[in-house]
Amino acid sequence: MNTNQNSPKFLLLSILLLALASSAFAKPQLKIATCQFPVSGDIKANAAYIKDFIVKADANSADIIHFPEAALSGYIPVDFPTFENYNWTLLRAETKKILDLAKKHNIHVILGSAHYISENEKPLNCLYIISNQGKIIDRYDKSFLSKRDVQYYTPGSHITTLELKGFKIAFLICKDSCFPEIYNILRHKGVKIIFQSFYNARHEQKTILDEIIPAQIRVRASDNLMWIVANNSTGQYSSWPTCIARPDGSLESLTRGQTGIMYRQFPDKKRTDDFRSWTHNNKKMKLCPNEVYHNSRPSNHPRATNTTATP
């Protein structure tokens, strides 16, 4: 064999070895998809959108797909007036189909829905964390409820995180954006990407939320050096579009009121390099040892405390 370092064979072998070494030490890439559609009180219609987006996300090689608050269940009292006589049987059946589809398409799913506790307790406004094996592996329950939410939902009382392809991710819902302390504890836990689901839609006209929510998302992202993936329903009038806030506080968005899907791949080295020169918030806020990360009264029912329970 010719071992001359200038020979074509030696050069080719060197290139192959370098390529193998680079791939061995390369960071895994995480491709996310986040969606918006007109969430309604029609469970079957919501499920049709969700299943269609899962198929599309798989076709685009996404590892995880993210849906809005109450994406499957619909949001009370906007989409339906009460949980009395709610069709939980249908919700469970459609959830099972989504679980099966997640496994078929080898994709993680963040599914906004409602979680039944008991006849005597209000449901949870939740995000089911579904693995690519079609299992509910965790659940985040909306912790900070609005004055209206408290009438219909039970608050959650726990933080939910997931390690996926080397990235620490977490989950929040809607009004959680008003409470900086919940982002601070996630920053202390090493979270770099937050999936936050909203339902700020079906208003009669433009509201102050059009400006407040995107501003909150940008500030929370830059204050904590995180990416925040924030989606919304497109039901008219929709206050703002699905967006992704970068750690420098800048924002990219879909078109408000139009059904669609947005992709982002991590690590995003270009975006990371862009924000370093401007963002200086490298000092974490201290954690309060007695902080309570919820309002109203959480439930101690086994169906609430078991975060892998089915709907």
What's the CATH number where 190 sits? 3.60.110.10
The residue segments making up the domain with residue 98 are 28-305
Three-state SS at 194? strand
- Edge-first strand listing for the sheet containing 136-141: 136-141, 124-130, 108-115, 64-66, 30-36, 260-266
Neighbours of 263 (CB within 10 A): 14
Fill in the DSSP letter of residue 309: -
Closest-CA residue to 243 (of 268, 222, 260): 260
Closest-CA residue to 242 (of 110, 58, 123): 110
In tens, the pLDDT along 216-269 reads 999 999 999 999 999 999 999 999 999 999 998 889 999 999 999 999 999 886
CA 34 → CA 45, 110, 116, 217, 236, distances in Å? 18, 9, 25, 15, 19
Mean pLDDT of the chain: 91
Q: Is the pLDDT of residue 276 over 70?
A: no
Say if 176 falls within a structural domain: yes
Q: For residue 217, what is the enclosing H or E element?
A: helix 209-224
Say if 16 falls within a structural domain: no
Q: Is the pLDDT of residue 9 over 90?
A: no
Say if 143 falls within a structural domain: yes
Say if 157 falls within a structural domain: yes
Q: Is 185 exposed, middle or buried (0-12, 13-18, 19+ CB in 10 A)?
A: middle
Angle, helices 88-104 vs 43-59, to 10°: value is 10
Residue 304 Cα to chain centre, angstroms: 20
The whole-number pLDDT of residue 269 equals 66
Report DSSP letters for 133-191, one per residue: TS-EEEEEE--S--TTGGGT-B------EEEETTEEEEEEEGGGGG-HHHHHHHHHTT-
Say if 9 falls within a structural domain: no
The whole-number pLDDT of residue 291 equals 84
Say if 117 falls within a structural domain: yes
Under 8 Å between Cβ of 197 and 66? yes
Place of tokens 């939320």: 209
Say if 133 falls within a structural domain: yes
Closest-CA residue to 31 (of 62, 67, 66): 62
Q: What is the mean pLDDT of residues 29-49?
A: 98
In tens, the pLDDT along 68-88 reads 999 999 999 999 999 999 999
pLDDT above 70 covers a percentage of the chain that reads 87
Say if 37 falls within a structural domain: yes
* CA-based torsion, 211, 224, 243, 52: positive or negative: negative
Q: 27 pLDDT band (50/70/90 cuts)?
A: low
Fill in the DSSP letter of residue 27: P
Q: What is the mean pLDDT of residues 274-282?
A: 64
- Number of structural domains, the chain? 1
pTM of the complete model beyond 0.75:
yes
Backbone angles phi, psi at 303, to 5 degrees: -75, -20
In tens, the pLDDT along 150-194 reads 999 999 999 999 999 999 999 999 999 999 999 999 999 999 999
Give bridge partners of residue 147 from the DSSP assignment: none
The whole-number pLDDT of residue 24 equals 46
